[in-house]
Amino acid sequence: MAVVTGASKGIGSGIAKALAQAGASVVVNYASSQRDADRVVEEISRAGGRAIAVQADVSKPAHIEHLFSETTQAFGRLDILVNNAGVYEWGPLEAVTEDLFHRQFDLNVLGLLLTTKEAVQRMGPDGGSVIDIGSVISSLLLPNSAVYAATKAGVDAITGVLAKELGPRNIRVNSINPGVIETEEVITR
C-alpha cells in the first residue's frame, strides 16, 4: 500500500501508476486538482489496480492527518510513502520575498518532514519505505534557483539523516533526484 503525495499530475502521476502496475494499492494525493487526481485513479482502476484520491495540502498538519486517516480507512496499512509534492518558482535574488521562501520551504521541506513523521507512525513492525523526490538542481546550482535549490538540498540532507535514524526500525529512506523535467507546474519570473 502506497501513498504518493502530489500525484495528480507530472512525476507523481507516473509514480502512482507505476506502483499500481507493480501491484500496490495507491493513494493519489492532490492539493487542488481533483479532476486530474480522479483521472489518475481511473487509469489505475482501468488497468486492474486499486487506488483512491485524497485531497490534502501536505504543508498543513491537519491535512496530513486527514490524508493518513483516509489511507488507513481505505487500505488498513501503509508500506510506502513517496514524498513527491512540491512547488518551485524560479527568479533572481531581487524576486525573493518572504512569501516566496515560505511557500517553497513550507511544502518542499516542512511538508516532507511532517508527512514522513505521520507515515512512520503508521508503518508496522515490518517497516516500510520512504522515497523522497529531490532534484538535480540541488547540485547544479543554476542561476535564479536559490530558494528552490535550497529546498532540494534540504531534501537531500533530510533523506540522509532519516535513512540512518529510521533504518534500525526497518524503514528504508531513499531519494530520487531527477533532472530538469517539464511538468504542468513551471513558474518562472
State the chain's mean pLDDT as an integer: 94
| Single pTM value for the model | 0.93
Say if 26 falls within a structural domain.
yes
Say if 156 falls within a structural domain.
yes
Contact indicator for 50, 77 with CB cutoff of 8 Å:
no
Say if 184 falls within a structural domain.
no
Say if 102 falls within a structural domain.
yes
Contact indicator for 40, 53 with CB cutoff of 8 Å:
yes
Say if 183 falls within a structural domain.
no
Q: What is the CATH number of the domain that holds 82?
A: 3.40.50.720
Report how far residue 149's alpha carbon sits from residue 151's, in angstroms, rounded to the nearest whole number: 5
Say if 134 falls within a structural domain.
yes
Report how far residue 149's alpha carbon sits from residue 7's, in angstroms, rounded to the nearest whole number: 21
* Full domain range(s) for residue 132: 2-176
* Secondary structure letter of residue 2 according to DSSP: E
Domain count, the chain: 1
Note the pLDDT tens digit of each residue in 100-117.
999 999 999 999 999 999
Catalytic residues: 148
Say if 182 falls within a structural domain.
no
Say if 91 falls within a structural domain.
yes
Note the pLDDT tens digit of each residue in 165-187.
999 999 999 999 988 666 665 44
